[in-house]
Amino acid sequence: MEQISSLQNPRIKHLVALEQKSSERRKEGLFVVEGQRELDHCIHAHYEVDTIYLCKQIAGSDYVPPQGRIIEVTPQVYAKIAYRATTEGVVATLRSRSLTLSDLHLSENPLVVVLEGVEKPGNLGAVLRTADASGVDAVIVCDPLTDLYNPNLIRSSIGAIFTVPCVACTSEECIDFFKQRGIQILTAQLQDSELYYDIDMRRPTAIVMGTEATGLTPIWRQAADAHIRIPMLGQLDSLNVSVSAAILMYEGVRQKQS
């Protein structure tokens, strides 16, 4: 097993660059995952492992890494490559892949979540966690402002980016995809909207949400079959997008199971 003890090792510098720069991830076709659970999710989702960086002192003697190229690193080196405060002694690089709309295999009565222009990796990660928990068919990110392999997104999703089909595309492509498949489009917005629980979600449904600051662009408002809102009974007029998405996802689940 190869061992690295120097912070200046070219492999370590390359790994840090992959963590910090989306341009480097795109160029190399690699992304970084930290943690035993997250790595297991990747392998279960059939991602190809490139290299595993293992700190035995942290991972423990009982941990058996997946087969592949394994490099043992010292605790000092691991502290440089780890981006989480709580850690498990495993960082890996894996081959990235990009799903397209045509790759999605939706159920007969799908529930899909669409996020337009969501910028914060933490928000998208939180939405993916709820999408996994509620069993939605897919999460579609339109006109994305964040990298789907951003380490902060992977961390905040606790690996749900690998358990929920997630596609990045344009809004135009997404709307056409829904129209061709008879999936109703429900846009979350305050203007000209109905309360979400008064809308029938028992049929194939896409819930579309925009940013907290600017909401959805006109193309979605015009394409919508209905506009929905969550009642706001206090003095503020918006919820965090991940909280709103959770409320609407579980309403869709409730209706489909009723």
- What is the pLDDT, as a whole number, of residue 92? 95
Q: What's the confidence (pLDDT) of residue 85?
A: 61
Phi, psi of 118 (to 5 degrees): -70, 125
Q: Give the integer Cα–Cα distance in Å for 153 and 202.
A: 30
- Give the 3-state secondary structure of residue 91: strand
Reported as a pLDDT band with limits 50, 70 and 90, residue 86 is low
pLDDT band at 99 (very low <50, low <70, confident <90, very high): confident
49-54 vs 90-95, strand pairing mode: antiparallel
Q: Report if pTM > 0.85.
A: yes
% the chain with pLDDT above 70: 99
Joined together, the tokens standing for residue 87 give 């850690």
20-68 confidence digits (pLDDT tens): 999 999 999 999 999 888 899 899 989 999 999 999 999 988 888 887 7
pLDDT at 12 over 90: yes
pLDDT band at 90 (very low <50, low <70, confident <90, very high): very high
Encode pLDDT of 128-155 as tens digits.
999 999 999 999 999 877 789 998 899 8
Q: How confident is the model at residue 83 (pLDDT cuts 50, 70, 90)?
A: confident
Q: Which domains does the chain have, with CATH numbers?
A: 2-95 (3.30.1330.30), 101-257 (3.40.1280.10)
What is the average per-residue pLDDT within 180-193? 94
Top-confidence residue, 251 or 159: 251
Q: What does the pLDDT read at residue 174? A: 97
| Average pLDDT of the residues of the chain | 92
Strand extents, DSSP E, the chain: 2-4, 30-34, 49-54, 69-73, 90-95, 111-116, 138-142, 166-169, 184-188, 194-195, 205-209, 226-229
